[in-house]
Structure 1
Amino acid sequence: MRIGELSKATGVDIETIRFYEKSGLLPPPARSGNGYRDYAQPQLERLAFIRHCRALDMSLADVGLLLQSLQSEDPQQLASVDALVDAQLARVRARLKSMQALEAQLQALKSRCDARHEQHACGILAELVAAAHGEACACHGEKPAEEPRR
């Protein structure tokens, strides 16, 4: 199959497929007589594997390690797969915690608005302006940290 067909079959952009080839994640396909790339089932399956790993927000380096582990029977290398997933879980949990803090900040900011804008100024904008002036704000509960001088 040609690169366009591979792209449609996997949902991976053509330029991304070429990038994966250049980076070594996807082995170069055979070339037909006219020079077109000719992909086969193994490349389709490998690309689907890469896409799935990327959907799990794994780095390209981690995807490379997982691809190497696919062909290994070494217990240590296979155990490294567990460690890789544990590290990815830790990153996701840290991002979730950060997103929950962001949600709380936005809720605090939103609480400054009672949606009666015809009667008074927007409380959200007032808070954002106050923070820009170095004053305490509802979303952070304190004055913003000063930028280090250079």
Structure 2
Amino acid sequence: MFKHVTLYLDGHDSRATYGEDKAAMYSYKLKKSGLRTQVAIDANGMVLFVSKSASCRDNNDGKMLQEMGIGKKIDSMDCIALDGGYTQYIGDIVEKEKLDERNFCFPIRKKRLQQLHEEESNFNAMFGGFRSTSEAVFGDLMKTFAKFNNKEIYIQARA
């Protein structure tokens, strides 16, 4: 069903601290300080490119996608699978990056006080399973690199 998708893009939070700036780096996912990085993975599970890491508190997934200049990194024929956290940013990205909505695949958003149709619910459920591929890549990265394992604190020297 998702054979047209060529890339998965998702954010990953890693434990990090800059000393006294822990509050500015707070991650709701980790419940502690951290850095968020956007990771683009191809259909074969290869990491193709990543964004700059930024403090979690002020940099949500959508904002980081807007700032990474995705239009220069992908072909016009690519289709990127995104989770629901990005959907409100798609319009701005399409306009700014000269892309088309067909370059993105994302879950169907439920409207307030209105249930999804059965086909829409099924699509969202299958999409969630399909997107688990990117989580598997993050798991492999966490096993390989202590920096990404969320158990160790990565302390980066200030520039």
- TM-score per shorter chain, which class? under 0.3
TM-score between the two structures when normalised by the length of structure 1? 0.26
TM-score between the two structures when normalised by the length of structure 2? 0.25
Higher-Rg member (1/2) = 1
- Flag the structure with higher strand content: 2
